[in-house]
Copies of this chain bind each other. A is one copy, B any other.
Amino acid sequence: MVEFSDRAALLSAHERIRPYVHRTPVVSSRSIDGMVGARVSFKCENLQRGGAFKLRGALNTVLSLTDAEAAHGVATHSSGNHGAALAIAAGIRGVPAYVVVPTNAPKVKRAAIAGYGATIIDCAPNVAAREAALAEVVARTGAYFVPPYDDPRIVAGASTATLELIEQVPDLEQIWVPVGGGGLASGCALATRDTGIAVIAAEPAGADDAARSLALGSRQDMPNPQTIADGLRTPLGVLNFAILSACGVTVALASEAGIVAATRLCFERLKLVVEPSGAVPLAALREAPASQPASRIGILVSGGNVDLDALAELFRNAPAS
């Protein structure tokens, strides 16, 4: 029997989504290599359709639905990249998308979700209001709920970014990946099993639930995350935690000042627009003790959806390094 997490299942997710996603490029910078003391290969999921890796999981899920499941469209809750990804995926499948968006979501992300053709349902910015709004829209429309990360189809889809990276750069010793809900990180852990590549999940010190969860062996809460990396404020998923644990993934933390500086480095040296969440692995790598040295490192840059005006304000206080 093929388990969802078997390599064959990951490869079949890749076949399923390949016609619709970009095989994103890998870039590098000699000046960053010099700072870090290793050759660092950046997998540019900020250049993915929708501006983030999220399309991979959303599309794998939407294309896996039976005709009956998909008949009335798909629904989710999201303040950001997953909502946009589901809207694109629904468009590809040719079904409607409904996205519950908190009223305090950034205007640019709301506009992106609507721009990709989804119907937006407003909700108050709290978990109870969000779940009520989602339940209401699912009951009313018959849409199929596609969760943002805690789902085997999402994880299998997300794993394809790592499958591509290890094809594009075959000699990596380590891959550093941001961890929030854990979709990208658990997909990376599955895609690198039995390859000898170590996976390091990077998270903000101000949202360190993955670090504490893996240290204690059970999922820990993060009641009040404090980080500029908005994509990594979400709690670690149940399935995602189980995969990270089983695969022996370690966690490295990044300071807020380090995250801002790493984001700026990506703009200045890689010439890439990267959202703070996507720069967290570089930040953690620069702050890591040299106890785990590697000479060939991959980094998954998760996305590039930022409010440029807000970012400019941030950079004003973080001069070029």
How many identical subunits does the complex contain?
2
- Is A315 an interface residue, CB under 8 A from the partner? yes
Chain B residues with CB below 8 A from A268, complex form: 273, 308
**B-facing residues in A257-275 (Cβ within 8 Å):** 264, 267-268, 270-274
- Is A108 an interface residue, CB under 8 A from the partner? yes
A304 to B22: give the CA distance in the assembly, Å. Answer: 22
Q: Give A49 Cβ to nearest chain B Cβ, in Å.
A: 7
Interface residue tally for chain A (C-beta within 8 Å): 29
- A115 to B, closest residue via Cβ: B31
Q: Give A63 Cβ to nearest chain B Cβ, in Å.
A: 18
CB atoms of A308 and B267 under 8 A apart: yes
Q: Give A48 Cβ to nearest chain B Cβ, in Å.
A: 9
**B-facing residues in A30-56 (Cβ within 8 Å):** 30-31, 44, 46-47, 49, 51
A22 to B30: give the CA distance in the assembly, Å. Answer: 12
Q: Give A195 Cβ to nearest chain B Cβ, in Å.
A: 25
- Is A142 an interface residue, CB under 8 A from the partner? no
A22 to B308: give the CA distance in the assembly, Å. Answer: 28
**B-facing residues in A114-138 (Cβ within 8 Å):** 115
Chain A interface (Cβ < 8 Å from any Cβ of B): 22, 25, 27, 30-31, 44, 46-47, 49, 51, 108, 115, 264, 267-268, 270-274, 304, 308-309, 311-313, 315-316, 320
* A-B contact list, 30 entries, CB within 8 Å: A22-B27, A25-B27, A30-B49, A31-B115, A44-B271, A46-B271, A47-B270, A47-B271, A51-B271, A264-B308, A267-B273, A268-B273, A268-B308, A270-B273, A271-B272, A271-B273, A271-B274, A271-B304, A272-B273, A273-B273, A308-B312, A308-B315, A308-B320, A309-B312, A309-B315, A309-B316, A311-B312, A312-B312, A312-B313, A312-B316
